[in-house]
Structure formats: C-alpha cells, structure tokens
C-alpha cells in the first residue's frame, strides 16, 4: 500500500492536511479483477478460462526474462513491446502440450494479436477503473501481417483421400468420419459440433439448432444439414444409446465419456501425418 501526501505546496502539515491511501495492485490482482468483472457480466466460462491462460502466458514471459515486476504499474510499454517480439520470434506454439508442440519458434500473427488484444482490453479496463495509473498499451499497435496469407481450402481430391482413410467398422473411426461430414455440411465450429445434443437435431426439417447461449454472437440460429448427414447422426446416437443407455449428446469416446474438441484434433492430426 503506497501513501500519498495531499496538501498545499510548501505548506507545513496542519489539521487540514490529509493522507490518502492509494492501493497498489499486483499484476495478478489487477488482471484477476478484470476477469472477475467479466464473470459478473455473464461472459462464457470458456472465455474466462482463456483470459486466465493469457494472464499465465504474460507471467511466464516476465519470469523467463527475469523482469522483477510485481505491481501492475510496473508494466511499461517497453516491456509489452518486448513481449510482442517474444511472441513473434521466440514462443513456440502449443509449448508443453504433448504431440502438438511446434518445432519452429514464433507464433502466427493472428495468435500474437489475440493475446495482445486481450492484454490491451485488460489494461484499458484497469486504467478506466483507476487500477493502473498510466496505461502502458495506449500507443501499442497490433502486429501487422505484410504477407496477408490466404487460408487454403481442401479440394475434393484431398477430402476424398482423407475420408477414405477411416475404417467405419471401428466405432472411433466411424464417429470421426461422421463428425468431419457434419463440419463440412454445416460449417459448425468443432467445439459446438462435439457438444451437439440430440434434442437440437430436427430430422423432419433437416436442421440443427444452435442455442443463443452457446453461439459466439449470442444469437440462436438453425443450420441446415443434408439427409445423409442427418441419418448418420441418428445412427451414431442409436449406437451410443445401445451401449451406454439414453444419451443426451451425439459424440462420445469409446468409454461413454463426452468426446472433446482437443481429442478430435489430435486424432485428425495423426491422420494428417499418416497421409503426409
């Protein structure tokens, strides 16, 4: 806790002189205050979890580069610029995550900017609330991408080659293929697709309802599916129900537990490596 003297310039301390306690927040406290405010606003738990990851990434950088910065007011524009350079040139994607860590150093421009935007949002909040005395990100710009690389789609030949790799006699591979066909059919995000509930599927109208509480823009909507994909989803759910009883969800692992997006990504990456 820092103590600030409030009084007339050159005046001796009198009864009218006062001392005001100015609270100094640690980086942890300041960023956690921001996160708690977002929880109070009703931000989704997944987003809150990501905020905590971004807080941890910043602290790891400060520790790795031996910055003896504990208070949020010690976080300067110079440190943040060095953090950006670290993300662009040194940090490895998925570092510490088995089977996903990249050999090459440096995160993509998009990933770097996601982390930077979150840090800017946190600092702007802290400055507005009086937690930070000087906003260190006020003049920090997002990372520019001069190459403007376009994401390449998969052509029919590659997709057919991928789909032919799955042995549908095996449950896990059949489930993965159905999930891929669902993603291709609807454009759903993987996290939404693996959490698909059977009650959200309308086989008569051939639609899938995405509730407002799970939609990214908080607007519920219906997406169309083909009859073929609808039939596959129905067959997959029946298969699971026969083994594990009445199930609310469509996608499960072989142990009757909910199938996760990360598990699907790992399996798909293994297919990708096998295909070259």
Confidence of residue 11 (pLDDT cuts 50, 70, 90): very low
pTM recorded for the entire structure: 0.54
Question: What's 72's DSSP letter?
Answer: G
Cα dist. 102→78, 107, 153, 155, 158 in Å? Answer: 28, 10, 22, 26, 24
Of 9-13, 65-69, 240-244, the poorest mean pLDDT is in: 9-13
| pLDDT over threshold 80, residue 3 | no
Q: What are phi and psi of 250, to 5 degrees?
A: -95, -40
How large a percentage of the chain has pLDDT more than 90?
Answer: 50
Whether 264 and 98 have beta carbons less than 8 Å apart is answered as: no
Whether the pLDDT of residue 108 is over 80: the answer is: yes
Task: Give pLDDT, residue 246.
Answer: 86
Please, what are the domains in the chain?
20-128 (1.10.150), 156-275 (1.10.443.10)
Answer with the residue of higher pLDDT: 123 or 104: 123
pLDDT attached to residue 18: 40
14 versus 231: the higher-pLDDT residue is 231
Token pair for residue 117?
């935007």
pLDDT (mean) for 176-192: 93
Question: What is the pLDDT, as a whole number, of residue 16?
Answer: 39
- CA dist 209 and 186 (Å) reads 11
Once rounded to an integer, what is the mean pLDDT over residues 213-230? Answer: 79
pLDDT band at 14 (very low <50, low <70, confident <90, very high): very low
Region 112-130: mean pLDDT is: 92
């Amino acid at each position: 806790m820092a103590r600030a003297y409030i009084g007339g310039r050159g005046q001796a301390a009198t009864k009218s002189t006062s001392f005001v306690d100015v609270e100094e927040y640690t980086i942890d406290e300041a960023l956690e205050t921001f996160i708690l405010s977002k929880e109070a606003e009703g931000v989704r738990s997944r987003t809150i979890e990501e905020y905590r990851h971004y807080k941890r990434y910043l602290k790891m950088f400060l520790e790795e580069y031996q910055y003896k910065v504990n208070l949020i007011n010690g976080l300067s524009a110079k440190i943040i610029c060095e953090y950006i350079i670290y993300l662009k040139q040194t940090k490895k994607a998925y570092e510490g995550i088995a089977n996903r860590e990249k050999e090459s150093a440096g995160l993509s421009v998009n990933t770097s900017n996601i982390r930077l935007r979150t840090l800017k949002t946190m600092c702007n909040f802290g400055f507005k609330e009086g937690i930070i005395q000087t906003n260190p990100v006020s003049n920090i710009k997002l990372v520019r991408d001069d190459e403007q690389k376009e994401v390449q789609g998969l052509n029919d030949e590659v997709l057919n080659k991928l789909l032919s790799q799955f042995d549908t006699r095996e449950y896990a591979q059949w489930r993965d293929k159905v999930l891929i066909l669902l993603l291709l059919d609807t454009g759903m995000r993987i996290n939404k697709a693996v959490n698909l509930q059977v009650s959200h599927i309308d086989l008569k109208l051939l639609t899938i309802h995405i509730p407002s509480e799970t939609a990214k823009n908080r607007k519920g909507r219906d997406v169309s599916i083909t009859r073929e994909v609808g039939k596959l989803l129905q067959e997959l759910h029946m298969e699971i129900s026969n083994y594990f009883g009445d199930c609310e969800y469509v996608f499960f692992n072989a142990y009757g537990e909910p199938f996760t997006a990360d598990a699907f990504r790992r399996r798909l990456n293994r297919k990708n490596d096998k295909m070259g």
